Structure 1
Amino acid sequence: MGPWCPTNISDDASKGGIWLIGGNVYDVDGAFIKNLALINNDATWQMYNRSTGAITKTLTQADCEAAANPNVGEAYKNYCVECLPSYVSTLTSTYYIPVTPVKLSTSYTFATGPGGPGSTGGPSTRGIAFDGVVFDAPAPLNVILAAYTLAPFDDYGGHINPHAGYHYHAATGLTKKITQTDGHAAMIGYAMDGFGIYERLSAAGTEDSDLDANRGHSDITRGYHYHVDKAGNNNFINGLAGAYAN
């Protein structure tokens, strides 16, 4: 896990995580922080000390808890929010996934924006990666930016919330995967309805053109399964085709 926030505007990409803008993935290096006012076309952004280049970021668990919420106060304006694993070391969660998936006649469609679910119901959690980390609903990027904060994801596509723990918002190709002998995209986990979740692209770098509205389809080898969305889209899959455990 990590890193998330660089320390100085001179830091390279190895010292920070990533951010998602307009469907694209950007490295949160020192230059990215330095240019936030230009990137967001808003001179209010000033997340570093002009004299030293030091980046303003959360340094304690109390900072994390105060800054990583929708109602962040003025005190944390222009902060890079970095919550550490030690802050959630005692947090546990249990999820139930069907062992034998049951495809339904009507899908559960997720909301198009952060938080889910959509009008047809369903859990907000999209699935579970092989490392036990949640594939979560879209991050509320606009809410984060509106508070003049930045909560980067690490290169794996995850960050830490003091209430939800470490979770993913993007499939960047770095999590545990099971490669397929036929060149099909690698499997990276399970959706909440028990159907497999696979990477977006095949071993040859191609994307399937027959995905349904949920980002799923079937083949002889794997049956029904999903393919994740582009990492920059802040999304994994669009809905669940099968029954999920309440």
Structure 2
Amino acid sequence: MNTAKIKTLMGLSSAGLILAAPMSVWAHADGQSISQDALVSAAQTVSCELENGDITTCTKYVVKYVPDNLVIGPFCPKTTKQKGGIWHWDGDETGLYRIDESFLTMLSEQGYTFFNEDGQVLITDVRTSQPASQNTCLQASFDKSVEMTILLPKVPVKSETVTELGTVAKVGLALDGVPIFADAPSVLDTGHMPALDTCGGHIDPGGWYHWHATSTDINSIFKSDNLDAECAIEQNASAMFAYAFDGFPIYGSKEIDGKKPSDLDECNGHIGTTPDSPKPSYHYHASTTFPNLPTCLTGVVAKNNFTTNAAQGIGAHGGAGPGQGAPGHKGGTPPGFEEAAKKLGITANQLFKVVEKNGGRKLDISAAAKELGISEAALKAALPKPPR
């Protein structure tokens, strides 16, 4: 038997990457749902409390800093002559780009220079140090001691209102055991670029790897965008990619018959049959644009559904919320928020949460000021200007 066939039987691609196993009976998150290569210990069924106060059962997963055999990178190129990962630029000439000389030159022309006069890219390991210049490419290193504990409801419960997924909000857990988070922090907010690899993931400042995209259906986006990039993970636009934190499954951008799904709700979900369930049930679909993840959740999530023993970053001790611990955010908030918070007599965490809740860079000053109990003028005067 040849090596390629052996790897296929073992659940690995020829590139050494984890492939999702067939899921003929997986109706909900259970002990068989997540790759064994990612688990620190066997999955458990535990009692848990949902955010609406209901007591129910959840499947508890304890996963590693990165699954065994998962090949990651590249992220930041060492020089402008090399090709790194990808980045979704939201400034002038918005779009998904490969991090290369052409893209970095374009950013420099817009006032964001990530390389020196010798063409060396300015790179910072945000797990061990802080950026020393106004614009740096962020690439954290692993902390192999890190473990993450995740709770997913065994029986999903619909919420009365949807939960919007802002910057680096918790989305779900991929079948390969990699956590999934919403859009990475914008360069326009921080001045720094937390580069993603060509499968849409990177390492958190806490030292563990996570996705910012549906990696098993990302090559179709590269193709439609004419982007010179490829994710080596097996692609299948109809297959299940993950479980959202509310317990509902997330599939690729196509139905079981290969057609684009119809009647999707605001969170990109609907009720229908799937490759794993002939009985119609609610599930999400990946979108056809980057980042190709649901933008909101329709179900209720469990309390304390993501924790980690990491010293910093998302889920670290101290209760990092959406947006906290993101690469380039010192202490969980963007540059200048500590000073702004002091002027306003509140914590940086309070200020950041209100800003994120009320539009981020497109901030509704009136709504944010009202929520903080301060004047619009005071808020405008205190907030840091976006770095350029």
Partner of 2:154 in structure 1? 99
Q: CA deviation at 1:59?
A: 5.4
1:240 to 297, 311, 336: 297
2:97 to 14, 17, 26: 26
CA distance in 2, matches of 1:135, 1:27: 21
Higher relative contact order (CA 8 A, sep 6+): 1
Deviations 1:175-203 (A, max 9, x none): 86795xxxx72110111122110112357
Q: Contact between 1:7 and 1:55, CA under 8 Å: does it hold in 2?
A: yes
CA distance in 2, matches of 1:138, 1:231: 12
Partner of 2:202 in structure 1? 159
Q: TM-score, normalised on structure 2? A: 0.48
Q: Contact between 2:184 and 2:194, CA under 8 Å: does it hold in 1?
A: no
5+ residue gaps, structure 1? 68-74, 116-123
Q: CA deviation at 1:47?
A: 2.1
Partner of 1:70 in structure 2? none
The 5-angstrom pairing of residues 51-62 of structure 1 reads: 52-58=118-124, 61-62=127-128
CA distance in 2, matches of 1:203, 1:195: 17
Q: Contact between 2:267 and 2:295, CA under 8 Å: does it hold in 1?
A: yes
CA RMSD of aligned residues (A): 2.8
Q: CA deviation at 1:165?
A: 2.6
Structure 1 32/106 Cα, relative in aligned 2: closer, same or farther at 3 Å?
A: same
Q: Contact between 1:158 and 1:168, CA under 8 Å: does it hold in 2?
A: yes
The 5-angstrom pairing of residues 16-95 of structure 1 reads: 16-22=84-90, 24-38=95-109, 41-42=110-111, 45-50=112-117, 52-58=118-124, 61-63=127-129, 66-67=130-131, 75-85=132-142, 88-95=143-150
* Deviating more after overlay: 200-209 vs 190-199: 200-209
Percentage of matched positions with identical amino acids? 32
Q: CA deviation at 1:105?
A: 5.7
Name the SS for the 2:173 alignment partner. strand
Q: CA deviation at 1:138?
A: 2.2
Stretches (4+) displaced over 4 A: 174-179, 202-206
2:184 to 134, 139, 147: 139
Deviations 1:130-171 (A, max 9, x none): 111111132221xx3344321111111111122373221122
1:226 aligned onto 2:293: no
Q: Contact between 2:125 and 2:141, CA under 8 Å: does it hold in 1?
A: no
Q: TM-score, normalised on structure 1? A: 0.73
Partner of 2:78 in structure 1? 7
Aligned residues: 210
5+ residue gaps, structure 2? 1-71, 218-230, 304-388
Q: Contact between 2:199 and 2:233, CA under 8 Å: does it hold in 1?
A: no
1:195 aligned onto 2:248: yes
CA distance in 1, matches of 2:89, 2:121: 21
